[in-house]
Structure formats: C-alpha cells, structure tokens
Structure 1
Amino acid sequence: MTGASQVNPCFLPGSTLGLLGGGQLGRMFAFAARRMGYQVHVWEPLENSPAGQVCDKQYSLPYEERDCVKEFARYTDLVTFEFENIPSETLTALAIERPVRPSAEVLRICQNREREKNFLLSQGYPLPAYRIVNSAASLRTAVSELGMPCILKTVDCGYDGKGQVKINEEQNLEAIWAAFHAERGVVEAWVNFYKEISIICARSPNGSLSAYPISENVQTNHILDYSIIPARLDRQIQLEVEMLARDITEALGVVGLLAIEFFLTHDGRLLVNELAPRPHNSGHFTVDACITSQFEQQLRAICNLPLGSTRLLSPVVMVNLLGEAWDKQLPDWNLILSEPIAALHLYGKSPPRPGRKMGHYCILGNTIEESLDKALALKSAIYGGT
C-alpha cells in the first residue's frame, strides 16, 4: 500500500514489512510497526525468536537459503534489518524483488570493520589510527607502528567485545595470531578516552535528517552497562557530534537509522569508533523518554513518512539487564515496577546467560542526578549488591 511518487513511494499503514533478524531490536521495531497498523514478517533462523514472538509470520531458515528470498519478498512490500550479521548477498537478492532500506551496500560497509574504517578515512572523518593485518608478521609491524597497548579485532561479526584481543607489552604476538582464527584483522591504537558517547541519526529517502539527543555510555566488560541522556557535554562538543552524525549519515547514503559511536578524548577530540545502520542499544531510552522512539523513527524513515520529533521529555538513564541478574533466581521485578519513574522492558529470551541482554529499564527523573542515582541503586538491588 503506497502513496507519493513512484521514485520514492510512501509505504502506508496496512503495508507488510519484511524484517531480517529476530532479536530484541526487531521485537521493539515490530511493536512500533504494529501499533501504527503495519504487518511484520521476520526472517530469523532461530525459532521462537524475540521478534518472531510478536510478528505476524516468521521464516525460520538460514539467511543463505536463496529459495527463501522470493518467498519472503512475495508477501512483503519493503525490507529492512535489525542487525549486521546478515549476508549482504541476501539483501542484494531481495533488492531485486523489493525495496531494501538501508541498502545492501550500507550493510556491506558497516558489517566489516575494514570497509567501515576505510570509508570513514576516505571521507576525512576522525577515527583512531589503525592497521589491517593478515599474518603474524603484519601484526608485529602494526603493533610496532601503533604502540602498546592496542586492540586486535576481527573484521567481521564483532559486537559486545566479541572477537577482540587487547595486546600488552608482555604478550607473544605469534601466539595471539595463531589463536585469532581469522584471515584478516584490524589493529586499533589504544584510546585513553574521557567518555564514550553515541548518537542516532535518521534519514528518509528524500534526504530529510533528524538526530536524537546524545547518549553518554558506560561499558562494563565491553558490554553497554548504562546510558545517561542527555550526555553531560559542553555545548560545542554537542554541536560537533551532531554535525558529524548528519554528515556521515548523508555520505553513507543511509535510508533508515545510523548509530554512530564516538570516543571523546581528554583533550576534547572526537574519534568515530563504530557505525551501526539500525536501532541501537544506547537508543532504547527513546521508547520512554522521547516523543518518537528510535523504532518508530526507523519505520517512518524507511517508509518515507515524515520523520517524528526527537524531543527529549525528561532526563533519563537506561540500564541493561544481563543474564547475570538471573544468577540464583528470577529477579524481583517489583523493585522496578514499584518505582513510579521506572519503565521495565523484557525481551522474551531464554535461557539467561552471562553477558546476554535480557531486557532493560529506564529511569525518568527531574534531573540527570536523580535519574542516575535511582538507576544505579536499582541495579545494585537487582544484581544482589554486585
């Protein structure tokens, strides 16, 4: 069901959206889509996925199953995705049948650290120094040029600290490469940052852009622990982040969402860390604290509808709930549910495992300080004082 011009048609409520990926991001996208009158079909190899639980139909086949492409496309009007670990060839094949947003080329760049960093470097954006390595010898050269400590990362399929090795003075580089089990890697210079921040930018087919408030992120064991919004930054830094986000989104040609993670150094420099062409963990606060959530904004952008307001309604802190909270028993959700300024979100995942994102909660206070104090007190209570 479309409107507007055939060049950039609008996909109106009543359309069926195809979603690749069945995790929590897809689940929350499906909530937003169904609330606005869309149907959602998800392609996710694992049965009973978080998104599949709430979608109209799930295709439980490998993404490489080319016979599924035409079947999936036949019953959908428009296709999008909720994470990067999808073969770009599958998106390219789908794009022959249906519009795919963001494009397969955007996915191809952002799902591979080498291509992503080369893109950013070619466009002149600031990022940490890096080298591409493909052997123990090239790793030794890279470490010599970048210094130690530094970080060796896989070029593909890395998130939440997976596929990363910190290299220190005393380590054996030949042994590190032998245990790396990848043909290529990226070695990044160590950044002694002041803060990690992120911003989510939306772009529609007609080039309209809109950015969310900046999130200040705190990580524990390479996994996002909690986010503080608005980020506590000087106004000049805020303006620079927003300008870079809009420029990168435009240069990449994204239609949909682009999350950009930055390091802010102690001397005030911004360095691009990673790109994600989809909703982002650090943007979960938007569901409770913004007029338009990131998931509704993704829907609006890919469907060529007017972008919604990103205005922040309240200072907010978002805290991830990891599998560790289930260590001994089911967490006492009354701790959160009895708090008037809290909102709880659970993802329908099973079983809980250490490091697995099972849900999150948001605290919406009158001030950042109130939100942060309450969020951390609840976190301590939920995890048993850890």
Structure 2
Amino acid sequence: MDVQAIRQQFPILQQEVNGHPLVYLDSSATSQKPQSVIDAVENYYRHDNSNVHRGVHTLGTRATEKYEGAREKVRRFINAASTQEVIFTRGTTTAINTVASSYGREKLASGDEIVITPMEHHSNIIPWQQAAKATGATLKYMPLQPDGTIRLEDAEETITERTKIVAITHVSNVLGTINPVKEIAAIAHKNDAVVLVDGAQGAPHLKLDMADLDCDFYAFSGHKMGAPTGIGVLYGKKQLLENMEPFEFGGEMIDFVNLYDSTWKELPWKFEGGTPIIAGAIGLGAAIDFLNEVGMDAITEHEVKLAEYAMEQLRKIDGITIYGPEKRAALVTFNLDDVHPHDTATALDAEGIAVRAGHHCAQPLMRWLDVTATARASFYLYNTEEDVDRLVEGLLKTKEYFGDVF
C-alpha cells in the first residue's frame, strides 16, 4: 500500500495550517475526500442533475442509473444478499432511529429488554431510551472490562429470553475497542433477539460481510469513509424490513394514495421518503470504488500497524493516560496530566495538527472512565508514522508549555 501515492489523491491534505503542513488526525469524526469522490459529485451536478425514479427523460434516466448503481456497490461492499436490503439514509443516526422507531416501538412491550453497552455513541443510546419510554421496555447495559472490552461470558449473562433487541457498536469511537459482534449476534439469536450494529467506525476500516456477521441490522455513514456528508446506509435483513412500517412518509416511498389510505413501494424504496440524497449516494459509490481499489484488507493492516506505532510512541511521554484496550482500531484517546483536552487540541492546532477533544458524544463512557473529556487522535488510510511523530512532538511542546505556565 503506497500511502504517499494515496495522500496525493486527497487535495485537502496538500495545505498548511498555521504555518505547518496539515496533519489530519480526526478521521473518526469525518474523513477527508479523495479527488475521485469530489469529481463524481461534481460530474453529477454538471451533467446529470435530475430527480430519480420519476422522469423518463435522459437526465432522469442517467441519475437513476447512477443512484441505483451506487446501491449495488454498497451491496457488494457489505456482502448483502440483495439491494432490497440496502436503504440509503442521511447517516448512522437516521439509520438507528429508523430501526428504533419502525421496528423497536412496534415490537417492544412492557417487560421486554433492550441490551446496549456503556461505550455506545449517543446515537445508539438515545433512540433506545426513547423506545423504552414509549413501550415500557427496560434498557439494560452489558458490563465492560477495565480495559473497555466485552467478555462473551458477560454477554451470555446479560442477554436473556426477555431481550428483544441488542444494539452494539462494532468499533468504539473513544476506546477503539473492536467488539465481537458476530459472537454477540449468535448469543442474541439463541435468545430470539435481533441485533443492530452501529458500524459508523467499522465500515470505513474493516472488511464487512453481512452473511458472516449475521447481524439483523447494520448502520453506517458515508462521510467517515471518504464519501460526502449527509449520506448513510441501513442494512437490514429482507424479512425484517418487509414487516416494518416506514419511518418517514411522503413522495418517493408511496405506491398508491387515496383519500383515506395509502400503500407503500417495495423495498428498499419504502424507507426512502422524499427526494433522496442522490449526489451523496453517487459520492458514496465513488468512495467505495476508491476503497476497493486500495483494498480493505490492506487498509486494515496499515491502520493496525499505525495504531501500534502510535501507542508505542505516546507511551514514551511522561504524564499521559491512554484509554482503551491494547488491541484496537485506528485511534488513540488520551489525556495529558493537568492539561484540559481542549487546551491540548488548541495547542496542537497551532502546530497544524488536527485532533478531537471533548466527550465524543459518549458521556456515559466518559463517566465510566471517570473523566469529563479526552483528546483523540484517529487515523485513516492516508496517515503515516510521520504524522504520529508530529503528534508526539506537538504533545511534548504542549506539556512543556503548560508546565511552564503552571
């Protein structure tokens, strides 16, 4: 994998920030976009801009072909059985809310349990809180080990015959924990529960196979994997999706409307009310082409080595606390002693280094860690060991500066 050649395909990386070459270490929040994705979106607006599925004119036909072609690219990328199982959404949040509302509120009742974990992003907590309040179901949390991992024994104990839904992140956006979702899905299915996987941090970095994972729903966002913002995917098993009511109602998802009743289109369109995110879907298709050209296995291997190198180098800094397990995805969350993470991020930005600081939309996990906030450096296929070295240098300067101040 030629990382330098890959970097040349990302225009935004070829700039200076505050007088320094940009080191972008915030891909868990959003990834940068390769030129091929930018070109695909621009080409659609320049040459094919039209609504889809509705017109028989040339532009409408071309737009529809590209939009549905992107759906087929997603299907192959995640190894879904059919394009009917691929729903385009605004992102992971919308996808999870669709399941919580269309499936959860319909299937849950008083006495039922929804099992999640303390490491979840708010987008995979709040929809289930609301579903529990609306139905009388109980929200139940799977315990974490001290390093932020899940033991399958704890999953076996937490998931019972009262469990109807298990919602779990594939990869923690704070700890970097890669959860054993395939094994957890098997435990859930043994108890006749369905499983939703929050794949926002999984899809960009791991080779996906829905047939192998055997989860019932998988949600992810395009903007974390080189695609535009505002486009995401909900994968769902066809039998489940067919028996769910739509989440949004209106144009595009209807089959027939009369004065007092209506019927819906077949899958996947019954879940895509209104004018869809056409340019975003085309951009997602282009991003998938780019990732496939590099190779997901190669991307994963590169990121594992980068995370290992980052852990090794960061541990050399006195007074740093690193959170999460030894084996992790391509991110490192940390704090410097006596330095607020927002100050750390601001000082690094002065050196042209972009990291994230805050609670990372994971306040329950922050409380579990006994901190209010952390700093996070997250990597992607365009990052290098030199980026990690710059990060370490920046943190040493930060530590020295705040040591002198206080």
TM-score, normalization by structure 1: 0.32
Higher helix fraction (1 or 2)? 2
More strand by share: 1
For normalisation by structure 2, the TM-score amounts to 0.31
Indicate the structure (1 or 2) with the bigger Cα radius of gyration: 2
